[in-house]
Amino acid sequence: MDTLVGIGTISAYTYSALITLFPPIAKALSAEMHTYFDVTIVVVGFVLLGKYLEANSKLKTGAALEKLIGLQAKTALVRRDKDTVELALEQLQLGDIIIVKPGAKIAVDGEILEGGSNVDESMVTGESIPVSKQVGSNVIGGTLNKSGSFEFKATKLGKDTTLAQIIRLVEEAQASRAPIQKLVDQISAVFVPSVLAIAAITLIAWLTVGTVVLGFSSALSLGFICFVGVLVIACPCALGLATPTAIIVGTGLGAQHGILIKDAQHLETLSKAKIVVFDKTGTLTKGKPEVTDILTFAGISEAELLATTAAIETKSEHPLAEAIVNKALQMKLELPSISKFESIEGKGVVAQIGEASFIIGNQSLMNDHKIQLSNEAKELSQQGKTAIYIARGQSLVGIIAVADTLKEETLHTIKQLQDMGLRLVMLT
């Protein structure tokens, strides 16, 4: 592409400059004093515009990589020689003991030695509910510690971490060449010499045959404009720009939306796909639990049940508790004050509000307190919802169902894909 544009524009510019700067030469060659500066400017302008668009798309898609790199923690609290020091990631060593506080990003991959917490790993897995981590559990660099604190031993650093491998995957995809690009190279290897030959034959034909009919000066002028025209018009700009730009934009936009494309070959093969397999959490759903149902018994109102439960759950660190508290805040409910609170790991909480004692948790906690359950929870469970039981004293007063709800655009997207004749599968 550059060869054709270069020869064409340089020839047009050189010819125009000669007849402008040296009028005697112009008079000898052509009485009409034709110059082709406009051709040169327009062609170079179009090519530069194409280059600019390509460079701009690369910059935009580079933001996808920047976003991934931004997920990395910048520093880590490290225990060194009985002291706790804050070090940059580059200064970490394998086997370092790293301290992670609530709300902090985990610096590198490692194994927990002391403490425990709930870690938000949605960056890697897409799962909205934080994963419980105990001594011996593995943690991934770039994920978020939601609650609790712990110490872990660094087992992978730098390019070996999970996040670094994801970043490398995106970089390799953007640099890879699609099969169609190899075809473009094969075509160009024949196409460019052929165009140069046709342009040369065109000029020679005008100088020989044209001179006999029109005279040398007119034949030269017309022959030259045809020579430049063949070179520029035949320039395969689309072949040179379209394919790499499409690959860069495609892989970059994919990365921004959490879709990792291994290489350009797979991006091209995707057009032949007949079946689309979806993950559920964070893909079809919002990836964040929300309150979907509030069932009440024993004469308690929905607002009173939600306000009471939210007041107690504000003391809890469980991921589902956050969904209940958020729902109460959305409804602008006034939360009562609680006097006692006890968390029962893996089951729920027990609390006191005024003279009444409340038990909030799963079926196992209700069974421990010999509380009679209703049949509605079974139906909620079949709908993929998590049932949270609320008992006052020894009586069940309500059930709050929490679930990961569909994204607003999911139904529209599914219908569009089905209309395209694709078979859709949910693998979860």
Residue 289 C-alpha from the chain's centroid: 21
Residues in the chain: 428
Nearest to 349 by CA among 378, 375, 310: 310
Nearest to 195 by CA among 220, 232, 242, 243: 232
Q: How far apart are the first and last CA of the chain?
A: 48
Burial 16-49 (b: 16+ CB within 10 A, else e): beebeeeeeebeebbeeebbbeebbeebeeebee
How far apart CA 215 and CA 261 sit, in angstroms, is 61
Q: Which residue has the tokens 């009679």?
A: 372
Q: What letter represents residue 408's amino acid?
A: E
Phi and psi for 316 in degrees, rounded to 5?
A: -90, 150
Phi and psi for 3 in degrees, rounded to 5?
A: -60, -50
Q: Is 23 left (phi over 0), alpha (psi -120 to 50) or beta?
A: alpha
Residue 200 C-alpha from the chain's centroid: 50
Q: Which residue has the tokens 């003279």?
A: 355
Q: How many CB atoms lie within 10 A of CB 216?
A: 15
- As annotated, the active-site residues are 279
